[in-house]
Amino acid sequence: MKSKIKVLIVDDSAVVRQTLTSLMESDPDIEVIGTAADPIFAAKKISRELPDVITLDIEMPRMDGLTFLRKLMIQHPIPVVIISSLAAHTTETGIKALESGAVEIITKPQVGTREFLEESKIRICDAIKAAAQAKIKRRTPIITNFRTEPRFTADAILSGTKPGSMIKTTENIIAVGASTGGTDALLKFLQEMPVDAPGIIIVQHMPEHFTRSFANRLNDLCHINVKEAENDDAVIRGRALIARGNHHLLLKRSGARYYVETVEGPLVNRHRPSVDVLFRSTAKYAGRNAIGIIMTGMGDDGAKGLLEMKEAGAYTIAQDEKSCIVFGMPNEAIKINAASVVLPLDKIASHVYQFEKRLNSGIE
């Protein structure tokens, strides 16, 4: 019999604590072992019983969540999911939380329709399960095969393409998909890419408003230009475009010009943006001219899309288990033979760059 994931909720709002408890305990794999109105109360509860995962607000009395997170990571690392209603002007704090060790950051549930609350429950429970799998310090429960219907595929956004339908050109595209643990993985990957790297398009599962701050942060730390994608942005050498939160990102092509389109549409694999949508559009419009990379993350978003890329002639890469925070998405891709090669995170950038040089020289 599987052990339930034990969760401690830390939030100064009684309404939020009650709502989160109700949403989480509706999932048979999750048990809320306690709630705390601030980090001081939380520390006392942790001393009595260790949770597997902590959900943490940022703006709280007596001690802010970011300070508590940093102390926790130093003294007793436990997977932390930030659940916050941070507005766009405070997203830099959210980025700092991820850099300080938070596994996920999701928006706080809002008052709304039953459909919205159900959608929030799925996001929250998925985040808890992803955090429970994260490699922080100790072994934690691994929950698999969690599915909630209806579950849309990339067909909801873009029709498929015939394998091998795109002719070879001189420009190549790198498409990357990541989720839990992806903020750190993307930083390491992009920092190693040289200024003449092929155009890069990225889906990182992240709430709306946070993607712009994340892109700006990467832009400050990398040799290449990094920005949040906007409609009609050109995909060019030396630039990486990151999907805007709550919007799917599609690659398009007009003649020799590659560009992107951002659309809303339904959740695909319970995500918007979805990696499957990005990969399908890359298979359709770039084909053999593309390199696909699937990185750390829970679930299977991107696995089928990576296979479509491979069948369209693209070279595909999956991050290996040892270097993943959560070996969900890459593992699902590997299972269906969607990856041409499996590599550790610190080898992916150099491998991609050398492979792309061989492509341009006519050697495959």
Active site residues: 179, 205, 301
Respond yes or no on whether the N-terminal peptide bond of residue 150 is cis (omega within 30° of 0). yes
For 306, the 3-state DSSP assignment is helix
Please give the biggest Cα pair distance in the chain. 64
Tokens for 274?
């979805």
Of the candidates 181, 318, 159, 171, the residue with the CA atom closest to the CA atom of residue 258 = 171
Q: Which residue in the block uniquely carries the two structure tokens 């679930």?
A: 299
Phi, psi of 294 (to 5 degrees): -115, 125
Q: In angstroms, rounded to a whole number, what is the distance separating the alpha carbons of residues 361 and 145?
A: 43
**Residue 317 φ/ψ region, left for φ over 0, alpha for ψ in the -120 to 50 degree band, beta for the rest:** beta
Q: Which amino acid is at 275?
A: V
Q: In angstroms, rounded to a whole number, what is the distance separating the alpha carbons of residues 286 and 57?
A: 42
